[in-house]
Amino acid sequence: MAALTASSLTLIELMKRLKPDGTLDTIVEMMSQDQEILEDMPWVEANATTGHRTTIRTGLPAGAWRKLNAGVPAERSETASITESIGMLETYLEVDKKLASLSGNTNEFRMQEARAAIEGMSQTLATTLFAGDTDTDPEKFLGLQARYDDPSAGNGENIILGGGAGSDNSSIWLINWRPDKIHGIYSKGSAIGLQHEDLGEERLQDSSNNFYQGLVSHLSMDIGLCVRDWRYAVRICNVDDSLLTKDASAGADIIDLMIQATEQIKDLNGSPRFYCSQNVRSFLRRQINNATNVNLTQENFAGKRTVLFDSIPVRRTSAIVPTEATIS
């Protein structure tokens, strides 16, 4: 039994949602954000109950030059097993049964709340894909930034410094999504995506521990990120958004940095995508008008007019924010 809190809908909130004729109004989702990354990711069912175990090759037999009447040593390859974690993202929606009835359309009233929760959980998921850090938040899954944050690490060659300083930088990512390289994971034996369960009518409690009848829904998704091969992602970090110009006359030369990223990635066979903030993509789009810029175009992609860089879609996401610390 749940207690009535600030998360419970009130009669005042209901009145805000009613049109003058007493019917439910259409809500303009001002909190909606672009999370195009969620449209791009391939998803693979995890092979373990609480995670996804994968094996990577870490060493190859190099061979040896043989002399006559002399042998060569036997060799073997080396492998390592890694287990990617899965996070459980959940929420409950509770509404007074009488309040829902007063709306004139109980199902639509509840669905409006469900749509808001779906949007909010999508934003949380996208943010975790980039910023999730299991060292500080073990209940989440490990995101991209924590994997690509040290230029001296083994995958440091796929971290390109954009020249910015301070703590007001953002990143541009090039990710080649492939089910055998980089992909999303969901719990073994579960359905993919968001699960919406209508728990029906339950007895709820208010803040004074008094009872009332309410309608309850449960939304959940058990998901994670698997990076089997770090060579299929490149991070351009230290991009100072505030210094960008429409003609690339100042700040980071993002065209040159993105060219470096395409050359640095292992290969582009798959579903390569660039990801950046709205501000960065805005400047990229404005640079299309530069006559000397042959890398940028704007074409139809998946039914939308989309900025392309060397035929790779440039996707924007609000999960990349201009508050990243400098990486050196």
State the pTM of this model: 0.82
Residue 2 counted as domain residue: no
Task: Report the Cα–Cα distance between both ends of the chain, in Å, rounded.
Answer: 51
Are 154 and 80 contacting, i.e. CB atoms less than 8 angstroms apart? no
Kindly state whether residue 107 falls inside one of the protein's structural domains. Answer: yes
Identify the pLDDT of residue 5: 44
* pLDDT tens per residue, range 126-142: 999 999 999 999 999 99
Quote the pLDDT of residue 165: 85
Q: Are strands 233-240 and 159-161 parallel, antiparallel or unpaired?
A: parallel
Measured distance CA(44)–CA(183) in Å, rounded: 7
- Interatomic CA distance for residues 57 and 55, integer angstroms: 7
Compute the chain's Rg from CA coordinates.
Answer: 25
pLDDT per residue, tens digit, the chain (328 aa), is 344 344 444 434 544 554 555 554 544 433 345 678 888 888 888 988 888 888 767 677 888 898 888 888 888 887 677 889 999 999 999 999 998 898 888 988 898 888 888 889 889 999 999 999 999 999 999 999 999 999 999 899 999 999 888 778 999 999 999 999 999 998 888 877 788 889 999 999 988 999 999 999 998 989 999 999 999 999 999 999 888 877 766 667 888 999 999 999 988 999 999 999 999 998 888 877 765 677 888 888 877 888 899 999 999 999 999 999 899 8
5 within domain boundaries: no
pLDDT digits (tens, 9 = 90+) for 23-55: 545 444 333 456 788 888 888 889 888 888 887
Q: Is residue 134 assigned to a domain? A: yes
- Could you give the angle at the alpha carbon of 141 between the alpha carbons of 49 and 219, nearest 5°? 75
What does DSSP say about strands 312-316 and 233-240: parallel, antiparallel, or unpaired? unpaired
* Domains identified in the chain, total number: 1
Is residue 328 situated within a structural domain? no
| 140 within some domain | yes
Longest dimension (CA), the chain: 98
Q: What is the pLDDT of residue 21?
A: 53
- Examine residue 61 and state whether it is found in any structural domain, yes or no: no
SS (H, E, C) the chain: CCECCCCCCCHHHHHHHECCCCCECCCCCCCCCCECHHHHCCEEECCCCCEEEEEEEEECCCCCCCCCCCCCCCCCCEEEEEEEECEEEEEEEEEEHHHHHHCCCHHHHHHHHHHHHHHHHHHHHHHHHHHCCCCCCCCCCCCCCCCCCCCCCCCHHHEEECCCCCCCEEEEEEEEEECCCEEEEECCCCCCCCEEEEEEEEEEECCCCCEEEEEEEEEEEEEEEEECCHHHEEEEEEEEHHHCCCCCCCCCCHHHHHHHHHHHCCCCCCEEEEEECHHHHHHHHHHHHCCCCCCEEEEEECCEEEEEECCEEEEEECCCCCCECCCC
Asked whether residue 129 is assigned to any structural domain, the reply reads yes
Give the domain range for residue 231. 11-46+88-316
8 Å CB contact between 23 and 105: yes
Contact, 271 vs 178, CB < 8 A? yes
